[in-house]
Amino acid sequence: MPENFDVVIVGAGAAGLMCAIEAGNRGRRVAILDHADRIGKKILISGGGRCNFTNVGAVPGDYISQNPHFPISAMSRYTPQDFIDMVERHNIPYHEKTLGQLFCDGSSQEIVDMLSKQTLLARVSTYLSCTVTKITSGQSFTIYTSRGTIHCDSLVMATGGPSIPQMGASRFSYDVATQFDMDITEVRPGLVPLRFRGEDLEFCKKLVGLSIACRVSCGYSTFEENLLFTHRGLSGPVILQISSYWKEAQEITINLLPDTDIYEYLRDKQSTRPKSEISTTLAECLPRNFARAIVQRYWDNKPINQISEKTLTSIADTLANWRLIPSGTQGYRMAEVSLGGIDTSGLSSRTMESNTVPGLYFIGEAVDVTGPLGGYNFQWAWASGYCAGQFA
């Protein structure tokens, strides 16, 4: 016999679990479905296993969307402090790292356990290893699954985007939106390492594993954190951040010494240490391996007092504005999020409900709202899930 629920949520990740809790707490009969064998699989791997569950500084203006005003309603009604309060009520120890990032002192499992307990208290039915094969609508929604047929008045799509496919990610929410004639914006990998070719790649390979604090810009966007050299190009927090703003054939600019007037530094060394080779001089403020490699690539490694004014200017400009053109990204497999998604012009910013299909909701990463690295995307998941849970 088919089962009947008030609300069915497809996707037992951060957004789906929050929505289930809130809808269940309103007395709605709720079922949450997931094809995985456990809830919160992406939560478990986040933050190196410690779950960067929110960011104390997360505000709507931090998010990328074709409609930058869309997150305002949800983010103002469910703030980082609201989730912190839940964490504290469950006595989960946590700490703040750089730039407002909050992590569990222990394991990400503590966050998943907290959400699991909340779903039980809200009388949510959870169906795992449950694949949805078809969805139809009439007076209600009918969901055909590997576990049987389910009917519901409200259907919430919370399956995320295609990032990290090895964790079971898919485009299913986009497929459902398309089925109901809703628009999808351009979707591409975000918060993802960048790839290079040719001489740039060979340069990166010489320095694999080396990390440098720097400032990276692309267009009008700039971030300042560490970059990391890899076998395929560049990664590290600052590269992941800028990748969400980079598009094919665009140039990125790296300031390797953002707090230093490099030209004046070099002029001073011409007086105070005139016989030092340029690589030795640069190794005083940059990692030695990097200093040697970049000098070998661009200049003759002469004593600094033999460097011409033209070369001195070239060195200063290169270190402050090192221009590179990535050949691409490492794709969804290495992307922490998917940029783009369900076009927000088709959704209510207050409820996350479709403007054209009553009872159909989209939340979390599936929606065209993407935050930077550092807990922002979890905060969007909590906020959008909370809002949909008040109405579904």
pLDDT in tens, 293-326: 999 999 999 999 999 999 999 999 999 999 999 9
Q: Are residues 297 and 223 part of one domain?
A: yes
Q: How far apart are CA 15 and CA 44, in angstroms?
A: 14
Q: In this structure, are residues 348 and 290 in contact, taking their beta carbons and an 8 Å threshold?
A: no
Q: Are strands 148-157 and 3-10 parallel, antiparallel or unpaired?
A: parallel
DSSP, collapsed to helix, strand or coil, labels residue 184 as strand
Length of the chain in terms of residues written: 392
Are 224 and 324 in the same domain? yes
Rounded-to-integer distance, Cα 62 and Cα 323, Å: 26
pTM (predicted TM-score):
0.96
Q: How far is CA 349 from CA 130, 343, 384, in A?
A: 29, 11, 9
What's at 115, amino acid-wise?
L
**Furthest-apart CA atoms within the chain: distance in Å:** 88
Residue that finishes a domain, picked among 294, 310, 329? 329
Determine contact, residues 232/202, Cβ cutoff 8 Å: no
Angle (deg, nearest 10), helices 14-25 and 376-389: 30
With cut-offs at 50, 70 and 90, classify the pLDDT of residue 169.
confident
The mean per-residue pLDDT over the stretch 251-258 comes to 98
pLDDT of residue 217: 98
pLDDT tens digits along 203-220: 999 999 999 999 999 999
Same domain, yes or no, for 282 and 348?
Answer: no
Statement to judge: residues 250 and 377 lie in one domain? no
Under 8 Å between Cβ of 340 and 19: no
Q: For the chain, how many structural domains are there in total?
A: 2
Within this chain, do residues 318 and 362 fall inside the same structural domain, yes or no? no
Range of the domain at 174: 3-188+337-389
- CATH code of the domain containing 280: 2.40.30.10
Show which of 287, 304, 329 is a domain's final residue: 329
> In the structure, what pLDDT confidence band is assigned to residue 166 with cuts at 50, 70 and 90?
confident
pLDDT tens per residue across span 340-384? 999 999 999 999 999 999 999 999 999 999 999 999 999 999 999
- Tell me: do 243 and 360 sit in the same domain: no
Last residue of a domain, one of 306, 329, 352: 329
Range list of β-strands (E), the chain = 3-10, 30-33, 52-55, 94-96, 101-104, 125-127, 132-137, 141-145, 148-157, 188-190, 194-195, 211-218, 221-229, 233-235, 252-255, 322-324, 328-329, 337-339, 360-362
Q: What number is the average pLDDT over the span 135-164? A: 96
Secondary element (H or E) of residue 355: none
Q: Three-class SS string for 281-299?
A: HHCCCCCHHHHHHHHHHHC
Same domain flag for 322 and 344: no
pLDDT at 2: 73
Same structural domain for residues 161 and 87?
yes
Which pLDDT score, from 0 to 100, does residue 168 have?
Answer: 83
Residues 6 or more apart whose Cβ sits within 8 Å of residue 177: 157, 183, 184, 342, 346, 362
pLDDT tier for residue 268 given thresholds of 50, 70 and 90 = very high
Asked if 199 and 184 sit in the same domain, the reply is: no
Round to whole Å and give the CA distance between 27 and 283.
64
Q: What is the pLDDT of residues 60-80, one digit of tens each?
A: 999 999 999 999 999 999 999
The CATH number of residue 142's host domain is 3.50.50.60
In terms of domains, do 117 and 132 share one? Answer: yes
**Range in 2-6, 249-253, 297-301, 363-367 with the lowest mean pLDDT:** 2-6
Residues 230 and 292 in one domain: yes
Across residues 142-165, what is the average pLDDT? 96
Helices 80-89 + 376-389 axis angle, to 10? 90
Q: How confident is the model at residue 1 (pLDDT cuts 50, 70, 90)?
A: very low
Task: Indicate whether 19 and 162 sit together in one domain.
Answer: yes
